[in-house]
Amino acid sequence: MATDITRPDPSVVLDLIEGFRRSKAMFAAVSLGIFDALAGGPKRLDELAIELKASRDGLERLLDACVCLELLRKSPDGYEITPVAATYLCKSSPNRLTGYLNYSNEVSWKLWANLEDAVREGTHRWKQVYGWEGPIFSYFFRDESAKREFMMGMNGLGLLSSPHIVAAFDLSRFHRLIDLGGGTGHLATAACVRWPGLRAAVFDLKEVLPLTRELLGTTPVAGRIEMIEGDFFSDPLPEGDIFALGRIIHDWNEDKIIKLLSRIHERLPSNGALLIAEKLLDEDKAGPRLLQTQNLNMLTCTEGKERTLSEYEASLTRAGFADVRGCRTPSPLDAVIAIKA
């Protein structure tokens, strides 16, 4: 039988069919505690099966998959963890992403299962899947353990991005940065490290600040960063000549964004600035790929979406800002700055 040489290479389709299996394997390994069990050194299969209360056959399959994914490796002493897994997938690591991974596995996975309905209706899936409207942050803060793990996951992502964000533009003329919804303070910390003349304040909800205080206390710039309790949509904003919004705007619809941007514009002095940390869609919205899937994620789980630089510029201009500039970075987030004329 002759081969049809006109058919396109199916590898892209086959890879996408298999793609969710790779991520689920990582999620399951984190959830089962495999990386935590190996954090102290290599262990053999039988020992791990007893410790993790898992079937020997099922665990061996998952461990070998993690070897193929370069999260584990085999040694004469059994299975051992790789540096990347030790850094990002162990609960003992200050750089861990486990909170975000567990959210992706336990919550986001179910929302994505209803992506077709999200596309048809243009709304998140919280009511369909969980029977309530949200906001999603209520889930993150449902108890102390969940709050801490999710915030540490966000902290891990912030440690990758914030040094690039604060170096994207010359901030040397500013004196006080207000990081709205600043979480663990990674952006404020990076800004104070990069710009020695800068002081900062993390403005966030009451339940967030204890962990902020704990983590800031380990930094060399803790004495230059204040913590202020508040809700940036409703409470008076602190005084500062530059405000920051890190992964905030993409969570909300346009009306709420304009409300927040207008509040910041009103509070800033003339020539004050707003620094935004978000990943920028290409102007034709054809990429980058990571942001395309994140944009679908925002559809399933928030009111918001990802945006192009021109879309950010339109919203910022509507709120009164001028001189909007964007900067691509090699990190998971890009930077946008706007000036109050």
Residue 98 placed within a domain: no
**Integer CA distances (angstroms), 47 to 33, 79, 207, 227, 245, in order:** 14, 10, 40, 46, 47
- Whether residue 5 is contained in a domain is answered as no
Asked whether 274 and 338 are in contact (CB, 8 A), the reply is: yes
Q: How far is CA 305 from the centre of its chain?
A: 14
Same domain, 218 and 317: yes
Alpha carbon distance 229, 227 (integer Å)? 7
Do 257 and 188 lie in one domain? The reply is: yes
By the 8 A CB rule, do 279 and 334 touch?
yes
Tell me: cis bond preceding 269? Omega within 30 of 0 counts. no
For residues 204 and 63, state if they share a domain: no
Contact (CB, 8 A) for 40 and 115? no
Q: Check whether residue 209 and residue 333 sit in a common domain.
A: yes
In a domain, 117, yes or no: no
The pLDDT score that the predictor gives to residue 299 is 94
Q: 188 and 336 in one domain?
A: yes
Domain count, the chain: 2
Q: Do residue 73 and residue 144 come from a single domain?
A: no
Q: Residue 158: CB partners within 8 Å, gap ≥ 6?
A: 183, 184, 186, 187, 246
**Maximum pairwise Cα distance, the chain:** 77
* Of 47, 62, 88, the domain-final residue: 88
The answer to the question of residue 52 being in a domain is yes
* pLDDT of the residue at 1: 55
Whether residue 292 is contained in a domain is answered as: yes
Tokens 């003329």 belong to which residue? 173
CATH code: domain of residue 46: 1.10.10.10
Q: Which residues form the catalytic set? A: 250
Q: Kindly tell me the sign of the dihedral angle through the C-alpha atoms of 182, 186, 189, 193.
A: negative
Q: Are residue 47 and residue 178 in the same domain, yes or no?
A: no
Domain boundary among 23, 56, 88: 88
Q: HEC states along the chain? A: CCCCCCCCCCHHHHHHHHHHHHHHHHHHHHHHCHHHHCCCCCECHHHHHHHHCCCHHHHHHHHHHHHHCCCEEEECCEEEECHHHHHHCCCCCCCCCHHHHHHHHHHHHHHHCCHHHHHHHCCCCHHHHHCCCCCCHHHHCCCHHHHHHHHHHHHHHHHHHHHHHHCCCCCCCCCEEEEECCCCCHHHHHHHHHCCCCEEEEEECCCCHHHHHHHHCCCCCHHHEEEEECCCCCCCCCCCCEEEEECCHHHCCHHHHHHHHHHHHHHCCCCCEEEEEECEECCCCCCCHHHHHHHHHHHHHCCCCCEEHHHHHHHHHHCCEEEEEEECCCCCCEEEEEEEC
Residue where a domain stops, chosen among 88, 112, 129: 88
60 with 205, same domain: the answer is no
Note whether residue 116 is domain-resident.
no
CATH number of the domain enclosing 328: 3.40.50.150
Residue 323: CB atoms within 10 A of its CB come to: 13
* Beta-carbon count within 10 A of 36 CB: 18
Domain membership flag for residue 178: yes
Beta-carbon count within 10 A of 172 CB: 10
Domain presence at residue 187: yes
User: Helix 209-216 to helix 186-194 angle, to the nearest 10 degrees?
Assistant: 30
Beta bridge pairs of residue 149? none
Residues 209 and 76 in one domain: no
273 near 321, Cβ under 8 Å? no
pLDDT in tens, the chain (341 residues): 555 678 899 999 999 999 999 999 999 999 999 999 999 999 999 999 999 999 999 999 999 999 999 999 999 999 999 999 999 999 999 899 998 898 899 888 999 999 999 999 999 998 899 887 666 666 666 777 778 888 888 888 899 999 999 999 999 999 999 999 999 999 999 999 999 999 999 999 999 999 999 999 999 999 999 999 999 999 999 999 999 999 999 999 999 999 999 999 999 999 999 999 999 999 999 999 989 999 999 999 999 999 999 999 999 999 999 999 999 999 999 999 999 98
Q: What is the pLDDT of residue 134?
A: 61
pLDDT for 139 equals 64
Domain holding 321, by residue range, is 137-340
Q: Do 148 and 216 fall into the same domain?
A: yes
**Pair (83, 220) in one structural domain:** no
Residues 31 and 151 in one domain: no
Pairing of strands 307-308, 280-281: parallel
Token pair listed for 12: 């892209």
Distance between CA atoms of 312 and 91, rounded to whole angstroms? 36
